[in-house]
Amino acid sequence: MNSSAFKDTLLLVVFATAILTMPIWLKPFGAAYPDLMQRFAIYGLFAIGFNILFGLTGYLSFGHAAFLGVGSYAAVWSFKLLTMNVLPAVFFGVIVAGFFAYLIGFISLRRSGIYFSILTLAFAQMCYNLAYSVLTPITNGETGLQLTLDDPRVLDAQAAAGSIPGTTLFGIPMTGITGFYFCAVVLIIGFFISMRIFNSPFGMMLKAIKSNQNRMSYTGFNTRPYLIWAFVISGMYAGLAGSLLAVTDPLAGAERMQWTASGEVVLMTILGGAGTLVGPFLGAGLIKYFENIFSSFNEQILHEAFAALPDGLENALVGLTSLFVGEGWHLTLGLLFMVIVIFLPGGIMEGVRRIGSLFTRSGSKAKSESSTAPEAR
Amino acid sequence: MDNVVFHVADVHKSFAGLHALSDIDLSVTEGETHAIIGPNGAGKSTLLNVCIGRLKPDSGSVVFDGNTLTGKKPHEINQLGVVRVFQTPEIFPDLTLLENVMVPCLAKRDGSFKLNWFKSFRGEKSIRDHAVETLVDVGLESQVGSHASNLSRGDKRRLELAMGLAQKPKLLLLDEPTAGMARHDTNATIDLLKRIKATGMTKVIIEHDMHVVFSLADRISVLAGGRIIAQGTPDEVKGNPKVVEAYLGEEQV
Amino acid sequence: MDSILLQILNGLDKGGAYALIALGLTLTFGTLGVVNFAHGAIFMIGAFCAVTMNKLLTISKKVKDESITFFDAFKEQPYLEIWFGDTGAKIVEYSVPLSILLAVPVMILIGLAMERGLIRHFYKRAHADQILVTFGLAIIIQEIVRHYFGANPIPQAAPAIVAGSASIGEWFGLGPNLVYPWWRLIYLVFALVVLGSVFAFLQFTTFGMVVRAGMQDRETVGLLGINIQKRFTIVFAIAALVAGLAGVMYTPILPPDYHMGMDFLVLSFVVVVVGGMGSLGGAVAAGFLLGILQSFASMNEVKSILPGIDQIIIYLVAVVVLLVRPRGLMGRKGVMED
């Protein structure tokens, strides 16, 4: 027992170290700039939260982007009305998203399986459509919600006139690398909470619900509040991620709520390994990394890359690869989606485990470890 | 009969006009082991489903310890101390045996819902010890850490029994606890049930195997065609011509 | 009265498209047990069959523009016109209905390939996996189409003879204000004919009988020793064909773009759920019902009372139906219960 507590602490320490030293070890990968690292942390949080619902209970929500969007709007409103300090913004982002998640979860969780997926999708689409139409006074429609000069910001002392202030943490500006460290600390806290949930009786109940929900009620559990809490907690994570997006760049648009965005978080989670602790973060990081790399490629870069080859071959290769990069990044994403689901349903963590069990002589050790993190099938 | 804890009163249930159960009256006293027997299709499983709240009777009531069970949700019935062991093993295939048994223990301790998210599940020492003890009782101590999906069918049934027993129920409803078991497993299960009987737990057993019934039951109700045709001690039932007829009728066909 | 009738008519053609897509979705559901998120992409492929056909028919040559006399001007003239004159021009004009000739083999092939290559291996997998893998496929199809046809909608014209509006009001003696575009009317009739043929096929042929029995109880039909697998492949191809034709004919109403598939997919899924998973009649009824409701919700009179209702009406109906009648309007017990 002590050894497992030790393992957890070790995992947390390793994770925190890896996150905080990202600016160093990401350098060789060309990814050590703040904007991208912020996205790693933010979408990592989003996926970690989504995993608490999907990975533990098996309920596949197709509407989590709505909570991300709601979190962003709430945070930007906090910047507009109250203060440029990020803590209230994050607080409101989480609370408002949690409230929305409660409303939507309360209704959607009356059904399970595919019906649940469709219900969450329907609600998310409603939020998205409303954000573009009736709710324009709150969301500013297609332009997106932005800071303006005449925002009240009642808690802030009057700043220098004529410029829109940036987000701060008690005076420390949340731009660039400090912005990243703020997101990183929030991510580590989020990871810690997710770890506690995974190892707690509550988390075990969620796993049991996934395994055999019917049996849970005959065992004396009211499964509904468990599911609602799992939904609300994962919605709060999404809201947290949304508010951090606003912290690093104080504007919010409805396109964040589109259902393709919900699909993306599903992909991040299964790519890394649904139901595992670290997997969703890895999935989010990889997708954001490759999105950044791939979508920055254009034909010219490709021509340079293949310049050593004979002209005919060069042109053919450029033509082929240009399908997958730049604007075609989504094609790569779709392929990745299919490959993972077909060949590696447990995601990267499953792959790591398979490779690991090739090397360990007794498969029993791998098995006992897998019991702490049963992967989704 | 003193101290009736479980009472099925005048229950009727029909499916699409077909009478599955009629005029069922059943009283079980505290500490009693009551067996329900009957030929195939007599309505035994329907009766059990009514008792556990899975089916709603058309009329009549099921009362346990002063609480009406009819219309209550499955988890509410469980929380009253009524536990059912299923005929086809209902377990958590993705969890380990230990976790399978710890989960019901938590239902007993924490009630139907508790947002217990910060403590460690493995750190629940008393729950853990109790679960291990129960697994030893049913003879699964060697596989505590393995996944439940890897168990043989007979072992799955024993695991399910352990899940039920771990909750220390006030009333245990057993649906053919030895069906599909090999002979020596059956004997081990009978021994286990006898030991439980010594603790004074009230039990209702639905069983096909007469050997099991006559080694365990204090009283027997014989169900045929959805009605109780005989009720009494094993000896009384054995000599009842109606029972002989109901069973012989089946066996000759 | 007129405006109500007009809204119903307006809803019917959209409803027809929903019904056609939803029919295929629910057919694959009920028989193969597969949740196909790529079905919208199939609809989109159908629409782009029309675009391709039009491109093929208008392969052109640069010729001197005779109408401009004071300097040498050139214009593109389709070979068809050069070779066949007016007949050629007529053929170009009828490119949308002619696309059906192209779409039928293409859609059937795509259906067969998809079922054989992918869907078949996912019969026994969890619904979540089916959703994810077909979602990935949909993204791929969508991106390939975008790569070749660009991101902008490509308008397709209906033949000139049906370009105007039918004065339906006068037909029924309701006054001249009630007019309805010919093509939409044609689409509605077309949808009804296709729906009718599919139903007749399932109702009156042995093949259809087996398929319907398969929808009732897949296990048992499999036990009968009937080669259900082969039939499932054909069912999937039919579903693809129906969605593809729906897409072809819809192009004059909505200029196709690469993401129209996803837009229609989400709505069609809602239609299927409202109608009841695995219920063919339910899908059709719900398709038309939701189409009509949507067009009512976009009336100004309604919008002034309930602002934004046009944006969410379909989802709202879905939520209400799922909560009140969990199995949908005409769903059967036991279909996709978990």
Contacts of residue A200 in chain B, CB cutoff 8 Å? 116-121
CB contact A121 to C (< 8 Å): yes
Q: Mark yes or no for CB contact B75/A221 under 8 Å.
A: yes
- Kindly tell me if the per-residue pLDDT of A370 is higher than 70: no
Torsion over CA: C44, C49, C54, C60 (sign): positive
Residue C49: pLDDT band (50, 70, 90) is: very high
Which value, to the nearest 10 degrees, does the dihedral of the CA atoms of residues A48, A52, A56, A57 take? -140
Contact between A54 and A61 (Cβ < 8 Å) = yes
Q: How many domains, chain A?
A: 1
Task: Look at residue A334 and tell me if it is in a domain.
Answer: no
Which among C35, C132, C308 has CB closest to A133? C308
Average pLDDT, chain A: 87
pLDDT one-digit tens code per residue, A92-146: 999 999 999 999 999 899 888 888 988 898 888 889 888 888 888 888 888 889 8
A41 within domain boundaries: yes
Query: Does the structure show a pLDDT above 70 at C249?
Result: yes
Query: Please, are residues A228 and A61 in contact by the beta-carbon 8 Å criterion?
Result: no
pTM to 2 decimal places: 0.88
The whole-number pLDDT of residue A375 equals: 38
Residue B204 C-alpha, separation from nearest chain A C-alpha, in angstroms: 17
Sign for the pseudo-dihedral over CA of A117, A120, A126, A131: negative
pLDDT tens-digit profile of A254-308? 888 887 889 889 989 998 999 999 999 999 999 999 888 888 777 777 777 777 7
Q: Inspect the interface and report whether the beta carbons of A335 and C318 lie closer than 8 Å.
A: no
DSSP string computed for A162-231:
TSPPPPEETTEE-SHHHHHHHHHHHHHHHHHHHHHHHHSHHHHHHHHHHHHHHHHHHTT--HHHHHHHHH
**Residue A26 counted as domain residue:** yes
Helix boundaries (H) for C33-78: 39-57
Q: Please give the mean pLDDT across all residues of chain B.
A: 86
pLDDT of residue C247: 92
Q: Which of B147, B106, B129, B144 is nearest to A371 (CA)?
A: B147
Please, which residues bridge with residue B28 across strands?
A: B6
By three-state DSSP, how is residue B230 classified?
Answer: strand
Select the residue of A114, A328, A330 nearest C336 (Cβ to Cβ): A114
Residue B103: closest CA among A217, C291, C78, A330: A217
Confidence of residue C288 (pLDDT cuts 50, 70, 90): very high
- Span C181-201, average pLDDT: 90
B74 with A217: Cβ contact below 8 A: yes
pLDDT for C55: 87
Q: ipTM score of the complex?
A: 0.89
Contact present, A167 and A89 (Cβ < 8 Å):
yes
Q: How far apart are CA C173 and CA B67, in angstroms?
A: 69
Please, are residues C249 and C187 in contact by the beta-carbon 8 Å criterion? yes
Say if residues A92 and A85 touch (Cβ distance below 8 Å). Answer: no
Confidence of residue C273 (pLDDT cuts 50, 70, 90): confident
Q: How does pLDDT run across C95-146, given as a tens digit for each residue?
A: 888 889 999 999 999 999 999 999 888 888 888 888 889 988 998 998 889 8
pLDDT band at A2 (very low <50, low <70, confident <90, very high): low
Q: Taking Cα atoms as reference points, which of A110, A120, A113, A123 lies closest to residue A223?
A: A110
Question: Within a domain: residue A301?
Answer: no
Nearest residue of chain A to residue B149 (CA atoms): A211
List, in order of start, the domains of chain B with CATH numbers: 1-75+173-180+204-253 (3.40.50.300), 82-168 (3.40.50.300)
- What's the average model confidence in pLDDT over A229-234? 97
Rounded mean pLDDT of chain C? 84
pLDDT at B130: 94
* A323/C316 CB distance under 8 A: no
| Backbone region of residue B51 per phi and psi (left: phi > 0; alpha: psi in -120 to 50; beta: other values) | alpha
The reply to whether C37 touches chain A by the CB within 8 Å rule is: no
Q: How confident is the model at residue B250 (pLDDT cuts 50, 70, 90)?
A: low
Question: Nearest by CB to A328, which of C126, C147, C262?
Answer: C147
Its sign, for the CA torsion A275, A277, A279, A283, is positive
Range of the domain at A157: 2-259
Instruction: Indicate if the pLDDT at residue C85 is higher than 90.
Output: no
Please give the pLDDT value at position A346. Answer: 85
Q: What is the pLDDT, as a whole number, of residue A158?
A: 64
Phi-psi map region of A159: left, alpha, beta (phi>0 left; psi -120 to 50 alpha): beta
List chains adjacent to chain C, taking adjacency as at least 3 C-beta pairs closer than 8 Å: A
Task: Pick the residue from chain B with its C-alpha nearest to A228.
Answer: B115
Task: Name every residue whose Cβ is closer than 8 Å to that of residue A377 and which is 6 or more positions away in sequence.
Answer: A345, A346, C126
Structure tokens belonging to residue A249: 């760049």
**For chain A, which chains pass the contact test of at least 3 CB pairs under 8 Å?**
B, C
Q: Does residue A87 form part of some domain?
A: yes
CB–CB of A145/A76 below 8 Å? yes
Cβ distance C121 to A342 less than 8 Å, yes or no, reads yes
**Which of C132, C312, C338 is nearest residue A129 as measured by Cβ atoms?**
C312
**Would an 8 Å CB–CB cutoff place C61 in contact with chain A?**
no
* CA A208-C32-A119 angle, 5° bins: 50
Residue found under tokens 């730049």: A326
How many residues can be counted in chain C? 338
From A205, A208, A219, residue closest to B78, measured CB to CB: A219
Within-domain flag for A251: yes
**Is the Cβ of A7 closer than 8 Å to some Cβ of chain B?**
no
**In the structure encoding, which two tokens stand for residue A11, read together?**
């995992």
Residues of chain A in contact with residue C129, where contact means CB-CB under 8 angstroms, are 341, 345
Query: Chain C contacts of A209, Cβ < 8 Å?
Result: none
Whether there are 3 or more C-beta pairs closer than 8 Å between C and B is no
Q: Nearest-CA distance from A10 to chain B in Å? A: 16
Is the CB of residue B129 less than 8 Å from the CB of residue B137? no
Q: What is the pLDDT of residue A161?
A: 60
**Cβ contact B121:B132 at 8 Å:** no
Confidence of residue C311 (pLDDT cuts 50, 70, 90): confident
Give pLDDT, residue B47.
87
pLDDT exceeds 60 at position A376: no
Residue of A nearest to C126 (CA): A377
Neighbours of A327 (CB within 10 A): 15
Residue A331 falls within a domain, yes or no?
Answer: no
Which chain A residue's Cα is nearest to C312? A126
Least confident of A19-23, A24-28, A293-297, B109-113: A293-297
Alpha helices in chain A (DSSP H): 2-20, 22-25, 34-57, 65-81, 86-108, 113-132, 136-139, 176-199, 201-218, 223-248, 259-272, 279-296, 299-305, 311-321, 329-343, 347-359, 363-370
Taking alpha carbons only, the member of B237, A331, B126, A290 closest to residue C136 is A331
A chain contacts of residue B114, beta-carbon cutoff 8 Å: 201-202
3-class secondary structure for B115-163?
Answer: CCCCCCCCCCHHHHHHHHHHHHHCCCHHHCCCEHHHCCHHHHHHHHHHH
Q: Which two tokens stand for residue A86?
A: 């990020």
Q: Return d(Cα B230, Cα B242) in angstroms, integer.
A: 8
**Rounded mean pLDDT of B159-183?**
88
Q: Do C147 and A323 touch (CB under 8 A)?
A: yes
